[in-house]
Amino acid sequence: MHRNLHPEDPIDEQATEAVPPMEELQPRPVVHAEPAHEAIAPVEEAESVAISPVEARTAAFAIGKLNDFLLWLAAVLEIGLLLRFILKLIGAPLANPFDGFLYPLTDIVLYPFGGTVHPIVGLAPIGQGAFEWSTLIAMLVYWLIFFAIRWFLRILITSPEPAE
């Protein structure tokens, strides 16, 4: 223990800390346990799950945001594939920095459709262009997949119509 060097000064008179003293905490309410015979009795209403309106709104908001993200992702993917289709059609060279970035990036999503239909080559004036059927098929398939997922998410957050 430390000796008080100034016994005439009261200790609690001045606050020496930068943080003011905390208020006293309120005691917790006591939770009374139910009698044992009531806790053992089966409850018939346990099958129905009640969801609070706040939880329902939070889930609907999260699903709505996921739906918006999927719409954005589908738009970016479709625009990227459309740009690739147009650039391949006019015969844009791979040496161009933009084409060198776009072709390998879209090759990833076109991999499943690689051998579907062979492209028609030699459409551009120089003879380097190609009409890629696989890109058009991929655009259609990806659009259908995103449409189905977004439709399913919309079903999750809408309430059923009342029966007449």
Give the list of residues 6+ apart from residue 71 with CB closer than 8 angstroms, or none: 146, 150
Residue 89, domain member (yes or no): yes
Task: Decide if 73 contacts 146 (C-beta within 8 A).
Answer: yes
Residue 117, domain member (yes or no): yes
Residue 121, domain member (yes or no): yes
Q: What angle do CA 130, 136, 142 make, to 5 degrees?
A: 145
d(CA 32, CA 49): 25
HEC sequence for 124-155: CCCCCCEECHHHHHHHHHHHHHHHHHHHHHHH
d(CA 68, CA 154): 11
Range of the domain at 148: 76-157
For residue 84, the model assigns a pLDDT of 92
Residue 84, domain member (yes or no): yes
Residue 94, domain member (yes or no): yes
**CB atoms < 10 A from the CB of 113, how many?**
18
Number of domains comprising the chain: 1
Residue 98, domain member (yes or no): yes
Residue 36, domain member (yes or no): no
Residue 57, domain member (yes or no): no
d(CA 67, CA 63): 6
Please give the chain's pLDDT, 164 residues, in tens. 556 666 666 555 555 556 556 667 677 777 666 555 555 555 555 455 666 777 777 888 888 889 899 999 999 999 999 999 999 888 888 888 898 899 999 999 999 888 777 777 766 655 578 888 899 999 999 999 999 999 998 888 777 667 76
Strands 120-121 and 130-131: antiparallel
